[in-house]
Structure 1
Amino acid sequence: MATETARTDGALARLARFCFLRRRLVLAVWIVGVVAVAFAGFGYGAPADNDPSGGDSGSAKAQKLIEKHFPEQQGDTLTLAIKADKGIDDPAARTTIEKVIAELVASPLTGPVTSPYQDKSLVTADRHIARTTIPLNDKDADKSAVKPLVDAVKDASGGEVTLGLGGKQAERAETPAPGPSESVGVLAAAVILFIAFGSLVAMGLPIATALMAIVGGIALTKLVGHLVPSPDFTVLVAALIGLGVGIDYALFIVTRYKDSLHDGDEPETATVKAITTAGHAVLFAGTTVVIALLGLIAMGQRMMTGVAIGASATVLVTMIAAVTLLPAFLGFTGRKIDSLRLPRRASRRPGIGETPSLRRRTPAERWASVVQRKPLAAAILAGVGLLVLAAPALSMRLSLPDASVQPHDRSSYTSYKIVSEGFGPGYGAPLIFATRIDSPDTDLRPVLEAVGTTNGIARVTPARISNDAQAATFMAFPTTGFQDQATTDLVHKLRDDVLPKAAGSAKVYVGGPNAGAIDFAEDTGSRLPWMIAVVIAMSLVLLVALVRSVTIALQAAVMNLLSIAASYGVLVAIVQWGWLGSAFGFPTDMPITTWVPMMMFPLLFGLSMDYEVFLISRVREEYDRTGDTRTAVASGLARTAKVITAAAAIMIAVFTTSLLGPDVSVKQIGLGMAVAVLIDATIVRMVLVPAVMELCGNANWWMPGRGRSQTRPTSRTDIEETAAV
């Protein structure tokens, strides 16, 4: 038959056959390659770069001035916060405090420290709370080197003296390494696969393939960091997405392989068919995810460009593993794919040529029929439900996490609480001002007075002149904290009103971590629509090319946008509004981390397109065979329901395991993506897709340049080559 030739000829068929027959060579190449890349990546990979600054923002300009004219200020600092119930002058309290300061000073990492007993400005009026700054000699100090300082402060804290060590490096040192979350995700995926396949051997193949690909992909990400720096959360995001798509892609191929064996094919033929059908769709789906991730480059932000390229590298490796390493594994297993089976009642799998009237209808078909009888009502209810879930997203606030949103048992949070109580919540997030000057005698008093008298400013430090007498800088402490909307409003007021009036023609820039986080969030918000437009446009072109229907491609785009918006809304309700936030491991209400929404969109859009491809390609195959949209949708759902449900369950399991980790930002993206996949696999695939396709009828297959007589294709070849399962 022509269709059989299509399945056994072509580049993918030749690749599958080669990997099957030369499986020992392929496996050896993969093992050696992964080991080599892992050795290079984990041993010599680029360090993480978490600096969100850059571009033309006010904070970026302030930072450039400070770096150029105040090189001595470039080192990081730690803040020791002290609270003594009987006052810091109590003999027992003073002994504890001076001992801790001595330990910090003795470290080779630290510079000179001013004791609060030497500087009255470091102590509150009642002398119950004090602070001091510990400069670090190495701003790139490894977290393991800073950890002993944090431990020394925590060990000394207790009784009538409470101590906390804050600062960016202290937060990093105190954040535990990723624990068992990834392994829990793998275990959950294994259980789901075992239930779906009913075989330990079939369960193991997707996991083995995905794990090898992830190790290689993450190591490659670290190597790519030498060319395009990326933040430290890139590895966690790459691991999450790589584990999810890696297992899913292998799942689809193994399912197709098992189906071919059950139809009587030999293992080699079954492997070739699996790769030229499911493998073809995997390559398309993976390409969609990569393109969606690369859409982050449209943000024009150096940090997110690194994330996009790093995560794309991991997805790319999983795609290659699915069509090369997995066929080799199938060659080793052969017909033993069903070995070590789970006892279950035998069930008859629907034949490809059977119609619903000649066999028992599956639950998925019966559900599709229910939706198709009332398609308008189903579409309206589902659409309204998604819009209700999406509504909280309208109040989304973006920021970067600081000590105030960390777990309350950490020393950095203790430092924040003590300093906020004694000196105000804005002390830990000062605004740093920088300006060029003509001479050391430049009068900056009007600027200092204007800033100091602005509502929302607690205190202003004296101006410092650079050694080259070309720049000046000073700090101002807000009365509100890092995460407060009032602080954002204050920065805008200073930039738009106070500074232009006080400085005249001179340019005074507002910088520092606080202003930098605000600029990063606003830059992200302004560029996000462009990224969305780029991702949608590129994905639509690919989907039209695959399913040869403009209507279905547009349906997919709209449905994906609705499901992503709904996940944004749920994320805001849980994280920002605090609805059940503590149950999901969030220490307190907090804004959404700035990079989370823009990272979620391309990932979720790409993954949603995956499910769209796996479902619509089979629906199109059935439509080609029957010419009836209603039958095609019902049959397509029936033949993909089990595998898509298993794939979605794996994704949800992998993403929710991020809630076990220590990073609040990674928790957010894991929760948001798990919610989105759940919505996509239920409301979208089970309700919206059959309802909307029923409403559109034959218009589903509209394509410009194709006449009405060509609405139904005459050849099954193209469809079977893109069928996913």
Structure 2
Amino acid sequence: MSLPPAPLSLAPLPVAPRPSALHRTGAFCARHSVWVIAAWLLVLVAAFAGRHAVGATFGDEVTLPGSQASAGSDLLKKSDPAAGAPGGKVVFHVGAGAVADHAAALEATLGRLRDLPHVTAVGRPVTSTDGATAYTAVSFDRKLKSLGHGYTERLDEATAPARDAGIGVGYGGDLHDIVRAPANDTAAEAAGVGAALIVLLLAFGSVAAALMPLVTALIGVGVGLGVVGIVAGTLTFATSAPTLATMIGLGVGIDYALFLITRFRQYLIDGDDPRTAVGRTTAASGKAVLVAAGTVAVALLSLYACGLTMIGRLGLAATVAVVVTAAAALTLVPAAMGLVGRRVDVLRVRRRPVAESAGDHDGWHRYARLVARRPWTFFTAGFVLLAVCAIPLFSLRLGHIDDGADPAGSTTRQAYDWIADADGPGFGPGANGPFTLVVDLAHATLPADRVAARLTGDLPKTHGVARVTPPVTSPDGEVLVTTVVPSTGPQSAETGALFATLTDTAVPAALHGTGATGHLTGSTAGQLEFRDTVTGRLPLIIGIVLVAAFLLLTVVFRSLVIPLKAVVLNLLTTGASYGVLVAVFQWGWGDRLLGMSEPVPIESYVPMMMFAIVFGLSMDYEIFLLSRIAEEWHATRDNERAVGIGLSLTGRVITCAALIMTAVFLSFTGSPAVVVKMLALGLAVSVVLDATVVRLVLVPSLMFLMGRANWWLPAWLDRRLPHTTV
């Protein structure tokens, strides 16, 4: 007997999920690898051509609208434009005898200085008590930075008669804007690239795999620098902006490519064909790259909240580099992986290739199990180490690095030392950074001579004042101008204290009842006000970055505990790196190894810059580690297994990435610019501490201790948050 035919099922056939946009992007780049690579090379050429065409300008001028230094400068320029003209000092010194013994050579030099283009005035020389040192003030009709470093040759030609007569010549004051050679960090960049290549060879075990992240990162950084140069045709960036963009872009560019290529090799080992592996890699790790780059960009752009244009634009320059290198990681790297395919292990330098994991019993798995058995031991050791590194932070002193920190033998350092060491009016340490006091007489109730008598009678009694020059009335009679010379150098803590005393008590007391108001101006006053402004706004930057990072991690990882832990640990990392900076630069521990001639204060804006950069970079490692932990957690709901597998899968690649970034940053400590040295060392220390102590010790030990509480999120908040994953 035949059975009736089975009824046709009307149930829909299962439909494969549509690949994500990142998956499709990676697959497209792998299929059209040659065209994608050619497009990036074309963009690279166009970016540098555009940079050259717009004539990028860089400068370090800081303006603080509304500050007393700015108000005083504006008053001075309005009443006597010549007094507010840009200028500097040409300093003369003889080892024996007196400068006056070479009168003919000195007069010839002064005459040549007057004949230089853009020079408006050359003052009569001021001579020290012993006659061995003299200086003359030189005024210009435009900002010195705009004259360019090539103008130094004109200065040298003008001062040649003095040198030929055996007189030493140095350039002081704002002439350093001309005579200091532009920082050439090519050697540092080459050293960083070389060190990164060595680490990549050790990490990947083949020349092809090592070159891919390096070459793609260099192309991305090149495009980023071109874009920064094009933008600099409209906006003026600080002179350190290109170096900062290179340093950050090269570090994150290699790291992003490293994470992608590591997973790509794992998929190849697991049996995927190359194009499938590229698509899966871009979908899996590409989103982590996007979130990591977005976090760095938010942290850097938050610098605009401080209200200081120069610092905000430094953050913008670094952001451009990060965004471009992230774009290269998501398009150029997949194209390179598609082009190379299984030839990724060509030219091996060791027998077995290494991807994410070398098996369930490799060293990282064993380490993860050890941390799981003794979480309290690991947590305590890591916390104590960071706390000890952070101790010098409590001695942090912000300031401005003056010419006294220039390399020994440089003309700027010679001029500084000759003036500081000489005796007599116009000399001494404070003569390298005097305060200009501008007194507004518009509403004065006393004659100008009586106001001047108040100043010359009261101000010299102030502790820390070496002398006060006789006040001079401007040609229009609207202002009085006098110079207050501190007894200490510009970067001294005592000079900063004197500035506060003069501003808050001494000057107001001297002018009390006169109806006149006083404003301290000049480069030293401006730098000290800049320092105070940065110090006051640093908490705002910290708050913005912390809140932004907390919200981002809450949305991504569906937890309140994980982002809170990340914020606290990143604060510890930042504090420890600040402490190392204080110990090296301020206390002088090992500063000779960095080519420093003396201890210096921490440049006022370095902590703010470092916080934004360090926090952004530390979030990179946090996201790459936690994304793998979260993958396993959502699959198994076993916290201990998730933490162990996440640590074992990412420990190797995070360590390699940290070594590469540290090598890149440390290479920039050879820069002649002290600020670049500070940033480079601080970032290198923070990366080392973050990738080792924090990511591989504190994070896993805390997650083992907290168990399922790591993933706690109130149900009402879970319903309201947007859903996304890494």
Is 262-271 or 237-246 further displaced after alignment? 262-271
Structure 1 counterpart of 2:168, from 152, 156, 162: 162
What does 1:411-450 align with in structure 2 at a 5 Å threshold? 411-422=411-422, 423-438=427-442, 442-443=448-449, 444-445=451-452, 446-450=454-458
Structure 1 counterpart of 2:596, from 565, 582, 586: 586
The corresponding residue for 2:135 is 131
Is 567-576 or 484-493 further displaced after alignment? 484-493
The corresponding residue for 1:247 is 254
What does 1:523-562 align with in structure 2 at a 5 Å threshold? 523-562=533-572
Tell me how far 1:534 sits from its aligned partner. 0.3
Amino acid at match of 2:332: L
- Confirm whether residue 384 of structure 1 aligns to residue 388 of structure 2: no
The corresponding residue for 1:188 is 195
**Cα 1:418–1:330, aligned 2, differ >3 Å: closer, same or farther?**
same
Give the distance between the partners of 1:307 and 1:55, measured in 2 at CA. 19
The corresponding residue for 1:477 is 485
Tell me how far 1:644 sits from its aligned partner. 0.6
The corresponding residue for 2:496 is 488
SS at match of 2:430: coil
**Cα 1:77–1:346, aligned 2, differ >3 Å: closer, same or farther?**
closer
What does 1:342-357 align with in structure 2 at a 5 Å threshold? 342-345=349-352, 350=357
**Cα 1:650–1:5, aligned 2, differ >3 Å: closer, same or farther?**
farther
Give the distance between the partners of 1:156 and 1:263, measured in 2 at CA. 76
Give the distance between the partners of 1:548 and 1:158, measured in 2 at CA. 75
Tell me how far 1:462 sits from its aligned partner. 3.2
Amino acid at match of 1:372: A
SS at match of 1:53: coil
Is 431-440 or 175-184 further displaced after alignment? 431-440
Is 384-393 or 618-627 further displaced after alignment? 618-627
Give the distance between the partners of 1:369 and 1:396, measured in 2 at CA. 40
Give the distance between the partners of 1:490 and 1:238, measured in 2 at CA. 37
In the TM superposition, structure 1's runs of 4+ consecutive aligned residues that sit over 6 Å from their partners are: 346-349
SS at match of 1:68: helix
Judge conservation of contact 1:146–1:169 (CA < 8 Å) in 2.
no
1:394-416 superposed Cα distances (whole Å, 9 cap, x missing partner): 11111122101111121100000
Structure 1 counterpart of 2:629, from 580, 601, 619: 619
Tell me how far 1:103 sits from its aligned partner. 4.5
What does 1:673-688 align with in structure 2 at a 5 Å threshold? 673-688=683-698
What does 1:273-672 align with in structure 2 at a 5 Å threshold? 273-345=280-352, 350=357, 360-422=360-422, 423-438=427-442, 442-443=448-449, 444-445=451-452, 446-504=454-512, 505-672=515-682
Give the distance between the partners of 1:10 and 1:98, measured in 2 at CA. 77
Give the distance between the partners of 1:192 and 1:222, measured in 2 at CA. 31
Amino acid at match of 1:114: G
**Cα 1:361–1:96, aligned 2, differ >3 Å: closer, same or farther?**
farther
The corresponding residue for 2:6 is none
- Confirm whether residue 205 of structure 1 aligns to residue 205 of structure 2: no
SS at match of 2:429: coil
SS at match of 2:481: strand
Is 600-609 or 625-634 further displaced after alignment? 625-634
1:45-81 superposed Cα distances (whole Å, 9 cap, x missing partner): 4422312231332222222323333322343223122
Structure 1 counterpart of 2:708, from 679, 693, 698: 698
Amino acid at match of 1:53: T
**Cα 1:317–1:69, aligned 2, differ >3 Å: closer, same or farther?**
farther
- Confirm whether residue 20 of structure 1 aligns to residue 30 of structure 2: yes
- Confirm whether residue 65 of structure 1 aligns to residue 43 of structure 2: no
Give the distance between the partners of 2:560 and 2:653, measured in 1 at CA. 26
Give the distance between the partners of 2:32 and 2:353, measured in 1 at CA. 34
Is 642-651 or 626-635 further displaced after alignment? 626-635
Tell me how far 1:614 sits from its aligned partner. 0.6
Give the distance between the partners of 1:20 and 1:69, measured in 2 at CA. 67
Judge conservation of contact 2:149–2:181 (CA < 8 Å) in 1.
no
Tell me how far 1:335 sits from its aligned partner. 1.9
Runs of 5+ consecutive residues of structure 2 not aligned to the other structure:
1-12
Judge conservation of contact 1:567–1:675 (CA < 8 Å) in 2.
yes
**Cα 1:227–1:437, aligned 2, differ >3 Å: closer, same or farther?**
same
SS at match of 2:432: coil
Runs of 5+ consecutive residues of structure 1 not aligned to the other structure:
117-121, 352-358, 711-716
The corresponding residue for 1:356 is none
The corresponding residue for 1:119 is none
Give the distance between the partners of 1:309 and 1:98, measured in 2 at CA. 49
1:131-184 superposed Cα distances (whole Å, 9 cap, x missing partner): 111223332433323321565569965996433222333355323531410111
Tell me how far 1:331 sits from its aligned partner. 2.4
Amino acid at match of 1:450: D
Tell me how far 1:130 sits from its aligned partner. 1.3
**Cα 1:177–1:489, aligned 2, differ >3 Å: closer, same or farther?**
closer
**Cα 1:405–1:346, aligned 2, differ >3 Å: closer, same or farther?**
closer
Tell me how far 1:100 sits from its aligned partner. 4.3
1:586-625 superposed Cα distances (whole Å, 9 cap, x missing partner): 2210000111110011111011010001111111222233
The corresponding residue for 1:143 is 148
Give the distance between the partners of 1:682 and 1:599, measured in 2 at CA. 22
Give the distance between the partners of 1:346 and 1:65, measured in 2 at CA. 70
Give the distance between the partners of 1:547 and 1:461, measured in 2 at CA. 65
Give the TM-score taking structure 1 as reference length. Answer: 0.91
Give the distance between the partners of 1:99 and 1:257, measured in 2 at CA. 71
**Cα 1:5–1:526, aligned 2, differ >3 Å: closer, same or farther?**
farther
**Cα 1:164–1:675, aligned 2, differ >3 Å: closer, same or farther?**
same
**Cα 1:620–1:449, aligned 2, differ >3 Å: closer, same or farther?**
same
Tell me how far 1:112 sits from its aligned partner. 3.5
SS at match of 1:141: helix
Is 549-558 or 442-451 further displaced after alignment? 442-451
Judge conservation of contact 1:175–1:663 (CA < 8 Å) in 2.
no
Structure 2 counterpart of 1:55, from 62, 65, 72: 65
**Cα 1:612–1:210, aligned 2, differ >3 Å: closer, same or farther?**
same
Judge conservation of contact 2:263–2:355 (CA < 8 Å) in 1.
no
The corresponding residue for 2:266 is 259
Give the distance between the partners of 2:161 and 2:392, measured in 1 at CA. 43
Amino acid at match of 2:148: K
**Cα 1:285–1:89, aligned 2, differ >3 Å: closer, same or farther?**
closer
Tell me how far 1:392 sits from its aligned partner. 0.7
**Cα 1:472–1:44, aligned 2, differ >3 Å: closer, same or farther?**
farther
1:327-365 superposed Cα distances (whole Å, 9 cap, x missing partner): 2222222222221221335679758xxxxxxx6522223
Instruction: Report the identity percentage.
Output: 35
Structure 1 counterpart of 2:239, from 223, 232, 250: 232
SS at match of 1:497: helix
Is 463-472 or 698-707 further displaced after alignment? 463-472
SS at match of 1:426: helix
Give the distance between the partners of 1:155 and 1:314, measured in 2 at CA. 48
The corresponding residue for 1:177 is 183
Tell me how far 1:418 sits from its aligned partner. 0.3
SS at match of 1:71: coil
